[in-house]
Amino acid sequence: MEEFLQQLVNGLSYGAIIALIAVGYTMVYGVLRLINFAHGDVYMLGAMFAFYAATNWFGLSAEPTWPKFFLILLVAMTLCGIVGFLIERLAYRPLRDAPRINSLITAIGVSLFIQYGGQQTAVFGPNPRSFPQIIPNISGELFNIHGVTVSKVDALILVVTVVLMSALTYLVMFTRTGLALRAVSFRFDTAALMGIPINRIISFTFVLGSVLAAAAGVLVAIKYPKVDPLMGLMPGVKAFVAAVLGGIGNIPGAVCGGLLLGLTEVLVAGYLPKGSQYKDGVAFVILIAVLLVKPSGLLGKNTIEKV
């Protein structure tokens, strides 16, 4: 029983990371009906920006403190928000009236551009680098209850995720900007007739998703202290699967999908023979099963498109 509960704790921590990334996928899809395949790479940029902020730019890793951690997190989230804005403004907005396949191909191109651009020596280099410790005494367990250990890093991931998701819920549900975002996601033309600045709301959606992805990148770099230009590839795909699982376009669904996917992967790795070899494949099995059984996802709604 202790082992099962321990796996649940590990799965929730991992699922929280996937959920932070999946929310960006689902918000962009909800507004533009676009699968932004570059979103996983923005998550990688979050870890990369945090690495440079902690080493080259400010040297904040020399004496790690909590204020320095929050400063590094803020820098990474701000820069990724700018990147998200530029991606929407330069790559997707010019194609908004073009066939949807054009935007999809562009998203793949932007993803490859970021991945291979990051491998250039002048940018980051092809080899992984160790992420410095930016929080004092972060390793080790926070508490232990009857053999179930909650590490400090896992507690940090869960707390940051809950705070960010609470802030996102408040923003979307209880502010005028959130109301405009929901209106744009319902219908472009009607929202425009009501005086809602469509372009500004769409840019804001990209910025918001990128900020959350950056937070996920920083947290992962703290837990697994390594930064790699290709580290966003697999988490990005899994976050997309989580968004589909929960019902793409639905924010609570993306969170549920991320947590469910994280728990499933950890339990498969923990209990199936040689499960660690199959855990990455679980996401794709879930994707196929969802598309076959309930294409709209767990919390999604079936929509009818006029042709």
With contact defined as beta carbons under 8 Å apart, do 225 and 5 qualify? no
Summarize the confidence of residues 165-173 as an average pLDDT: 88
Region of poorest pLDDT, from 52-56, 58-62, 149-153: 58-62
pLDDT reported for residue 303? 64
pLDDT reported for residue 99? 84
Residue type, 267: L
Q: How far is it, in rounded angstroms, from Cα 41 to Cα 7? A: 28
Token pair recorded at residue 214:
């950056």
Model confidence at 78, in pLDDT bands (50, 70, 90)? very high
With contact defined as beta carbons under 8 Å apart, do 34 and 28 qualify? yes
Summarize the confidence of residues 138-160 as an average pLDDT: 84
Distance of CA 119 to the CA centre of its chain: 21
pLDDT reported for residue 285? 82
Token pair recorded at residue 260:
């469910």
Average pLDDT, the chain: 85
pLDDT reported for residue 282? 77
pLDDT reported for residue 306? 53
92: nearest Cα among 83, 82, 102: 102
For the stretch 173-220, pLDDT in tens is 888 988 888 888 888 778 888 888 888 999 999 999 899 999 999 999
Summarize the confidence of residues 265-292 as an average pLDDT: 79
Distance of CA 90 to the CA centre of its chain: 21
Summarize the confidence of residues 36-56 as an average pLDDT: 88
For the stretch 216-269, pLDDT in tens is 999 999 888 888 888 888 888 888 888 888 887 788 888 888 888 888 888 888
Give DSSP secondary structure letters for the chain. Answer: -HHHHHHHHHHHHHHHHHHHHHHHHHHHHHHHS---TTHHHHHHHHHHHHHHIIIIIS-TTSS--HHHHHHHHHHHHHHHHHHHHHIIIIIIGGGTTS-HHHHHHHHHHHHHHHHHHHTSTTTT-SS-EEPPP-STT-SSEEEEETTEEEEHHHHHHHHHHHHHHHHHHHHHHHSHHHHHHHHHHH-HHHHHHTT--HHHHHHHHHHHHHHHHHHHHHHHHHHS-EE-TTTTHHHHHHHHHHHHHH-TT-HHHHHHHHHHHHHHHHHHHHHSTTHHHHHHHHHHHHHHHHHHH-TT-SS--------
